[in-house]
Structure 1
Amino acid sequence: MNPSATTPPLTGPGGPSSTSLWRHRDFRRYLTGQTAGVAGSSISSMAIPVLAVLELDATPGQVAWLAFWGQLPPALLALHAGALADRHSKRRQMITGDLVSATALATVPVAVALDALTLAQLMVVAAVQGAAGVVHDAAAISLLPTLVDRSLIQRSNSRIGSLFAIAATGGSNLGAALTALLGPARALLGDVGSYLLSAWCTARIQARETTPTRTGRRRLRTEIAEGLRYVRDDHRLSVLTWVNATTSLALAALNTLWALYLLRVLEMSATAFGVVLGIGALGAAAGALSAPAVARRFGPGPMMLGALALTPLTQVPLLLASPGLGWELVIGAALFLQLACAGAAGTTQRSIRQIITEDSMQARMQAVSTWLTSAARPLGALLAGGLGTWAGVRPALVTGACLLVVPLVVLARSPLRALRQMPAPPPAPESTGHTTGQPPAAAGPTVPAPGSASAAEGSMDGGMP
């Protein structure tokens, strides 16, 4: 690495554990920008389904195709975006993604004003946003370890996860209010503004980034292959990645028809739909905030196993529900529990992966997870669309709920279920230069080999992608 291109990560006079994250200017700017993006995306998550279902009269198959086109670009571009983020400025890549997303989304209210909006345009906008989003996210997630010390990663992710959930709550309710007052198309202008705010905050981050010293020109595919081998050869990274991918497949099948099911089958109003999303986001905030304490008390593995075991059960009220206020409250409570599990698990699994990964491989490591989870999402969307068209919406949701058992099995069969403590970071490289792409040896609390899983009982804390 080039020492002149780095600044010390956030630490305090009494060590990292004594440091207040809120006093770190660059972390605050990073958090503000990303939180604004989450709030804006929640507005779109509220407004776009309403726009497609209620105003463009989309069928279950068309709703599935809309989800498919939004989820396809990350599956195609994630590995390239991760390699570029490890090669070039992460902040510049984040800003570019934000500006492209803002431009694409702004075309929707313009088209509505001209009475020219079609489902085809919505699908194009979804695809462009998906591509810009993966470019942004590959850089954003991998930027955090350069801003704070590794010992503060879990605390940082806990704060980020909780504020993201609160922002999602505010965004959902704001989206519901804007949709009711201005219509779903004009409500999307709130998301356009959030992208611009995110770009502005990212541009104001002053810390220099760690950039690799390169002795010659290397092909992008070579660096992508390095990232794939890096994740494959570290069993901790590979298991967490497959847990995320199988979870994404199941959630994509559920989420594709979830809005249509609530709005059309259960006759939920747009306002009630936004409120239910907001209640669920509060659960994600509670889960993220409690993750460090729960992981210390029970270990990340048992917590993850418990979260994955509870998640399929939270779908039962949705499948049994009928129209009415009482069932709307039950669905909101079930979503609260589901997202609490996701928040706690997601905060910790992301922290584990960031802690054990070398700086020069952060974006590519994350890109491999994004690639697999993103590839699973279009498959889940198409599965839901096919089942919803031929068998009905409720059978499609039952299938999605059953698929949520798969990540539980993947984790239960892994040695990571015995991880009782957060792992130690990899040792600092002894020399500068380009990374070899070799995964770090497990340090600190070890994970037993597959043949000796009974020798330890503990935890991994993972979460939904």
Structure 2
Amino acid sequence: MTSRRRNPTPPSSTTSSLWRHRDFRRYLTGQATSVAGGSITSVALPVLAVLHLQATTAQVAALAFLGQLPPALLALHAGALADRHSKKKQMIIGDLVCAIALATVPVAAACGALSIEQLMVVAVVQGSAQVLQDAAAISLLPSLVDRSLIQRSNSRIGALFAVAATGGSNFGALLTAVAGPARALGGDVLSYLVSAWCTLRIRSRTDPDPRPRRAMRTEIMEGIRYVRADPRLSVLTWVNATTSLALALLNALWALYLLRSLHMTPTAFGVVLGGGALGAAVGALAAPGLARRYGPGPMMLTALAVTPLTQLPLLVASPGLAWEIVIACALFVQLAGAAAAGTTQRSIRQLITTPAMQARMQSVSTCLTSAARPSGALLAGVLGTGVGVRPALLTGTCLLTAPFLVLLLSPLRGLREMPTTPPTGTDRTNGQPGVSAGPFTTSKGATS
């Protein structure tokens, strides 16, 4: 019997202009809107917890810990579900659950019943639904566009996401100042609804072909063995995990430090986040050119070397406009490097992974990086409470050298070009289609 082709290329997927690809536009619009909404929350939620609910350092760290815990526990299952069922349906369900959970915050605030404990519950529910949505969304892209367009697609996605994050941060700062942080979260609720609507309108066939149903544990283990069997995927995963540990420690205390120790206003806090996000847009757009000119490996190595240096202004800063500008510039540089490396590494992983393993491959990385995040947040709470916020930030800065060393000691540091060989062969560990054939001529590493 002749098997059906897994994901027939949509007629528009081979067009030279991604903007003429309707399904890609719908995907990009929905995801970018969700990113903008998330940026509103990134501004409003710390203000709500720190300034309105008077959260302690330990409570702020606990809130960050609980928000990052669901991906660590559910990522592998979410990836297996996305490879087994409809990615579109999983994305829509995740968006709707997030919208409902987040909508309870402004409602409770209006009733005068909002507490830090409710924020923690919402963080767990929203984080659980978000990991389901993310596992499906990241692995959906290779089924929407032709392989030759994957790097350009990720570059455009990274750039637009950065612009959306900038707009969301600035709009979130405005909403927080005008309507209050609780009502400002309504913008993120709306963004989830828009994302679900755009996903619903994607017409390309993206469902997996029917295959014998196996135990969830079996499919999860296949994903783990798949990543372990390819040194490129393994190195990228450990680079991401060590980066996430350090950044989780820093991010858990960043808002507290800027708002309370450096006395930034909520508006200035949002502007700093938005200005930094512009660096991500620049880095994402420049990624294909930088990868062609210098090679993905050297580019990633440089970005990882620069990242710890961008944290130094934060450690020596004092209250005042001049230092706010310096911190914003440092964040711009950091996010530019992260975006250039991140969009390229994501393209490499998608290019060297067979379609049937896309979501599970991503879920392995997500599991380890997500497990590192609550660990970093918990460490932030212990250090912030025990020795102070600034020493805790110094510890996080030192930890940022770990991913640089992981990549420096691997063959990936010398990658000079993107992989071009389609996925072929068979993975000897599980009988599934394997990674692309060809010599280990260095793959690039990255974030995310």
- TM-score, structure 2 length as denominator? 0.96
Q: Quick one: distance in 1 between partners of 2:394 and 2:210? A: 51
Which letter maps to 1:360? A
Alignment of 1:82-121 (within 5 A): 82-121=79-118
Q: Is the 8 A contact 2:425 2:434 kept in 1?
A: no
Kindly report which structure 2 residues correspond to 1:328-339, keeping only aligned pairs within 5 A, or say none. 328-339=324-335
Provide, for residues 387-436 of structure 1, a one-character-per-residue CA deviation record: whole Å limited to 9, x for no partner.
Answer: 00000000000000000000000001111112110012434579xxxx83
Cα offset, 1:11, TM superposition: 6.0
Q: Distance in 1 between matches of 2:250 and 2:234?
A: 25
Q: How far, CA to CA, are the matches of 1:229 and 1:148 in structure 2?
A: 27
Which one of the candidate residues 407, 413, 420 is aligned to 1:417? Answer: 413
**1:309-388 alignment, distance < 5 Å:** 309-388=305-384
Deviation at 1:126, TM superposition (A): 0.4
SS in 2 for 1:57: coil
The residue that corresponds to 2:446 in the other structure is 463
Does residue 199 (structure 1) correspond to residue 192 (structure 2)? The answer is no
Instruction: List runs of 5+ in structure 2 lacking aligned partners.
Output: none
Q: Contact 2:91–2:137 (CA<8 Å) still a contact in 1?
A: yes
Deviation sequence 1:370-391 (CA, Å, 0-9, x none): 0000000000000111000000
* Counterparts of residues 271-290 of structure 1 (less than 5 Å): 271-290=267-286
8 Å Cα contact 2:352-2:423 kept in structure 1: no
Cα offset for 1:211?
1.1
1:281-300 map, 5 Å? 281-300=277-296
Q: What does residue range 143-182 of structure 1 map to in structure 2 within 5 Å?
A: 143-182=140-179
**Aligned residues of 1:163 and 1:285 also touching (Cα < 8 A):** yes
Displacement after TM superposition at 1:209 (Å): 1.3
Aligned residue type for 2:36: A
- Percent of aligned positions with the same letter in both sequences? 70
Which of 390, 401, 408 is equivalent to 1:394?
A: 390
8 Å CA contact 1:2, 1:210 repeated in 2: no
CA deviations over 1:67-92 (Å, ceiling 9, x no partner): 00000000000000000000000000
Question: Within 1, Cα distance between the matches of 2:314 and 2:353?
Answer: 39
Question: Does the 8 Å CA contact 1:227/1:437 hold for their aligned counterparts?
Answer: no
* Cα distance between partner residues in 1 of 2:302 and 2:443: 11
Contact 1:231 1:439 in 2 (8 A): no
Asked if 1:71 is matched to 2:68, the reply is: yes
RMSD: 1.6
AA aligned to 2:119 is: L
Which amino acid in the other structure matches residue 462 of structure 1? G
Q: What is the match of residue 439 of structure 1? A: 434
CA distance in 1 between counterparts of 2:436 and 2:286 reads 29
CA contact (8 A) 2:351 2:423 kept: no
Distance in 1 (CA, whole Å) between partners of 2:29 and 2:285 is 18
| 1:418/1:447 contact within 8 Å kept | no
- Structure 1: which 5+ runs fail to align? 449-458
- Partner Cα distance (2:290, 2:262) in 1: 36
Structure 1 position 110, deviation (Å): 0.4
For residues 255-266 of structure 1, the aligned pairs below 5 Å read 255-266=251-262
1:72 and 1:378 in contact (8 A); partners too: yes
Aligned partners of 2:323, 2:98: CA distance in 1, in Å?
A: 36
Q: Secondary structure at the match of 1:3?
A: coil
Contact 1:300 1:348 in 2 (8 A): yes
Give the letter for the 1:118 counterpart. S
Asked if structure 1 preserves the Cα contact closer than 8 Å seen for 2:353 and 2:436, the reply is: no
Preserved contact between residue 304 and residue 460 of structure 1 (Cα < 8 Å): no
Q: Distance in 2 between matches of 1:360 and 1:220?
A: 15
In structure 2, the partner of 1:3 is 4
Alpha-carbon separation, structure 2, partners of 1:257 and 1:350: 28
Cα pair distance change 1:277/1:43, threshold 3 Å: same
Go from structure 1 to structure 2 and tell me whether the alpha carbon gap of 1:2 and 1:51 turns closer, same or farther (over 3 Å shift). Answer: farther
* Aligned residue identity for 1:43: I
Distance 1:53 1:437 in 2: 49
Rate the CA distance shift 1:2–1:99 in 2: closer, same or farther, 3 A.
farther
Q: Distance in 1 between matches of 2:178 and 2:435?
A: 54
Q: Provide the C-alpha distance between the structure 1 equivalents of 2:157 and 2:312, rounded to a whole number of angstroms.
A: 30
How far apart, in 1, do the equivalents of 2:340 and 2:24 lie? 21
Give the equivalent residue in structure 2 for 1:454.
none
TM alignment of 1:36-55, pairs within 5 A = 36-55=33-52
Mean Cα deviation higher: 18-27 or 40-49: 18-27
Shift of 1:171: 0.2
Preserved CA contact (<8 Å) 1:56 1:118: yes
When residues 2 and 189 of structure 1 are mapped into structure 2, their CA distance, relative to the original with a 3 A threshold, is farther
Q: How many residues align?
A: 444
Aligned partner letter, 2:432: G
Aligned AA (1:388) = G
Partner amino acid, structure 1, of 2:445: G
How far residue 151 of structure 1 moved from its aligned partner, in angstroms, is 1.5
Letter in 2 for 1:3: R
Distance 1:52 1:126 in 2: 12
**Which residue of 202, 218, 223 maps to 1:222?**
218
Partner of 1:186: 183
Distance 1:253 1:10, change over 3 A: farther
The whole-number CA distance in structure 2 between the counterparts of 1:254 and 1:10 is 45
2:234 matched residue in structure 1: 238
Q: Distance in 2 between matches of 1:367 and 1:263?
A: 34
